[in-house]
Structure 1
Amino acid sequence: MTFSFASPWWLLLLLALPLQVWWHTRGTHFTNAVLRFPSATSLRQFRPSTRVRLRHVVLVLQILGELALILALARPRSGKVEQRVISEGVDIVLALDVSGSMQAFDMGNRERIDVAKEVTSQFIDSRSSDRLGMVVFAGQSYTQCPLTVDYGILKNLLAQVSIRMNETIPDGTAIGMALATATNRLRKSTAPSKVIVLLTDGSNNAGIIDPLTAAEAAAQLGIRVYAIAVGVTGRAPIRVRDPLFGERIEFMEDSINEDVLREIAAITGGRFFRATSQTALQEIYREIGMMEKTEVATLQIPRFAELTFVFFLIPLGLGLLIVGSLLRFTVFRTIP
């Protein structure tokens, strides 16, 4: 709680009150005597009357009245200054590849999909005031989570993402469809920055929309695409589950079309990244986070209310001045 005055300049009038007291006492001490006494003995027989002893009451009433009026004009108040944080967040759609090749375990002996989910979860934790959504894709694409600020729900839906989704959607890599679905989620966004983070380990081999056509549509809506290619170059080990012979390990060739991903990023004003390890992927997401910062401003809102007793100061001050004037011209009237 803070105490202040709405019109503090009126308090400068307080400087005149000591001068007024000085002037009054000066006039009292230097008034010439008008009665003569034959001796000091005769003078000692006289005692100051009650009227004389209370002669300063008029000054006191006048000073108090003026003080009350000055305080009323200064308008004392109490309250506090509230700070309100205003942020303009970024709308981000995370497009995650769940095709069968994401089972390759070439990132620290872990499957690509598991590393991608872990790093994506960390990226979600690093954001604030942003709306985040998620699109998953293989041979087709669909929205796993619409844009939301409830990061808890988003992370729960991220945890449900797995390669087994291919049991309900065909396998393959429909990059164009993924971009189109993500763009549709951002189509009506009014955020100052709209972003798609596309993570894939393959080339477009499914879907009816060409990736570059989808990129051009995103660019027209002011959407930037950060394209991330995951996986080592060359051959990568992958677990193959055979219903007859069980699980076995095979090696698959790198099928990422970097040229297309680079062009997608260039068309939309984004960037292309290549992640061959979990550390590299974490650094990429950190860099994206730095490029897509949330604008935050602090607005200070003063909330003050004038103190209740202020409304009684004006009648109190006027009353004291009137009483003082009446006493001056009646009880304490001086005769020249």
Structure 2
Amino acid sequence: MFQDIEFANPQFFWLLLLLPVALAWYLFKRKQETASLKISSTQGFLTNQWLPKLKPVLFAMRILALASIILAMARPQTEDISTRTKTTKGIDIVMAIDVSSSMLARDLKPNRLSALKEVAADFIRKRPNDRIGLVVYAGESYTKTPITSDKSIVLSALREITYGQLNDGTAIGMGLATSVNRLKESKAISKVIILLTDGVNNSGFIEPQTAADLAVEFDIKTYTIGLGTNGNALSPIAYNADGSFRYGMRQVEIDEKLLEDIAEVTGGKYFRATDNEKLEAIYDEINKLEKTEIEEFKYYKYEEKFRPWVLLAGALLLLEWVFRNTVFRSFV
């Protein structure tokens, strides 16, 4: 009966303590309320033997009416809560991804590019309130997806990224500059680039330092990630006759000083990922560092349930008055 019911004024339930007092008083005074007559026999009287025994029903009806009134005073009600969220601080993010041949190295499983795509997809799913875009670069760069709030488009584009779409090389400056170009007109309060590479800048016509200065000018924070194990890694070194890659051990070379400088000058942070677990941990940390503020509004709708109890109390009191003045009139 009281499932999902709350009471606005539960303090009125203390009045229920008066009901046992009233019951005790009634039992104490009951004998004094009824006159007694001693006779030797009732054979000459035509009396209704069971009706006087029902007289306590009147008191019970009055007690139940009082209990109903107290329950109504406590204001039973149901509560319907609806929520609406408002993003008070949106973040625009561009993920700049190196797709050079070295990203096929197998020091991460199954290779660096595949491992990155898996971790990046999880990162995108955790940012439902932000706009995200993709930039890919190798010997040159281009925008794979402009910043958008449609995560299905971004995830689909991420899955399509493969090696061979661009000339080989590592144009870090070009990748960063293209990312800045995607964010420079953004009206978001916070603008972020996540730039990942596994090599050194050896291509392109824009120097990384120049691209970093552009990021500073447009107030764009850049997180940089150096990907690859320390030392040698199993990497593509030549082509087989059928066009597939021939793998061999190759020295891993990452310009960590450059990546540190880019992150420092733009207010970001540099990370080094040497395996799948560290790469995942890096994106988790960036996710925590760049939090979107969400304001939640709650709307409460109350439906009062005291009216049936008031009507029940009125009905009980009315019945008690009718019975007292009709059926039980001779005994009251």
Contact kept? 1:173, 1:203, Cα under 8 Å: yes
1:222-233 alignment, distance < 5 Å: 223-230=220-227
Determine the structure 2 residue equivalent to 1:5.
7
Contact kept? 2:105, 2:233, Cα under 8 Å: no
Tell me how far apart the structure 1 counterparts of residues 175 and 30 of structure 2 sit (CA, whole Å).
Answer: 96
Q: Give the Å deviation of 1:121.
A: 1.6
Q: Give the Å deviation of 1:263.
A: 0.5
Q: Give the Å deviation of 1:22.
A: 2.0
Tell me how far apart the structure 2 counterparts of residues 235 and 25 of structure 1 sit (CA, whole Å).
Answer: 95
Determine the structure 1 residue equivalent to 2:20.
18
Instruction: Write the letter of the residue equivalent to 1:117.
Output: S
User: CA, structure 1 residues 158+105, in 2 after alignment: closer, same or farther (shift >3 Å)?
Assistant: closer
Taking only the aligned residue pairs, the percentage that are identical comes to 29
Q: Give the Å deviation of 1:253.
A: 7.8
Q: Give the Å deviation of 1:266.
A: 0.9
Q: Give the Å deviation of 1:120.
A: 3.0
Determine the structure 2 residue equivalent to 1:199.
197
Determine the structure 1 residue equivalent to 2:75.
75
The one of 254, 263, 277 equivalent to 1:265 is: 263
Q: Give the Å deviation of 1:19.
A: 1.9
The one of 310, 313, 318 equivalent to 1:317 is: 313
Segment of structure 1 superposing worse, 216-225 or 64-73: 216-225
Q: Give the Å deviation of 1:34.
A: 6.8
User: CA, structure 1 residues 59+174, in 2 after alignment: closer, same or farther (shift >3 Å)?
Assistant: same
Matched residues, number? 320
User: CA, structure 1 residues 321+201, in 2 after alignment: closer, same or farther (shift >3 Å)?
Assistant: same
Determine the structure 1 residue equivalent to 2:133.
133
How does the TM-score come out when normalised to structure 1? Answer: 0.70
Structure 1 gap ranges (5+): none
1:211 has 2:212 as partner? no
How does the TM-score come out when normalised to structure 2? Answer: 0.71
Tell me how far apart the structure 1 counterparts of residues 84 and 244 of structure 2 sit (CA, whole Å).
Answer: 60
Determine the structure 1 residue equivalent to 2:53.
53
Segment of structure 1 superposing worse, 150-159 or 285-294: 150-159
Q: Give the Å deviation of 1:203.
A: 1.2
1:302-313 alignment, distance < 5 Å: 306=303, 310-313=306-309
Contact kept? 2:97, 2:196, Cα under 8 Å: yes
CA deviation string 1:233-256 (max 9, x = no partner): 68996434599x998889988774
Tell me how far apart the structure 2 counterparts of residues 31 and 103 of structure 1 sit (CA, whole Å).
Answer: 104
Contact kept? 1:4, 1:76, Cα under 8 Å: yes
Which secondary structure does the structure 2 equivalent of 1:24 belong to?
Answer: helix
Instruction: Write the letter of the residue equivalent to 2:309.
Output: L
Determine the structure 2 residue equivalent to 1:41.
40
Tell me how far apart the structure 1 counterparts of residues 324 and 122 of structure 2 sit (CA, whole Å).
Answer: 77
User: CA, structure 1 residues 257+182, in 2 after alignment: closer, same or farther (shift >3 Å)?
Assistant: same
Determine the structure 1 residue equivalent to 2:98.
97
Contact kept? 1:62, 1:320, Cα under 8 Å: yes
CA deviation string 1:124-181 (max 9, x = no partner): 2355431443210134322212345665544443343233212xxx554432332233
User: CA, structure 1 residues 251+292, in 2 after alignment: closer, same or farther (shift >3 Å)?
Assistant: closer
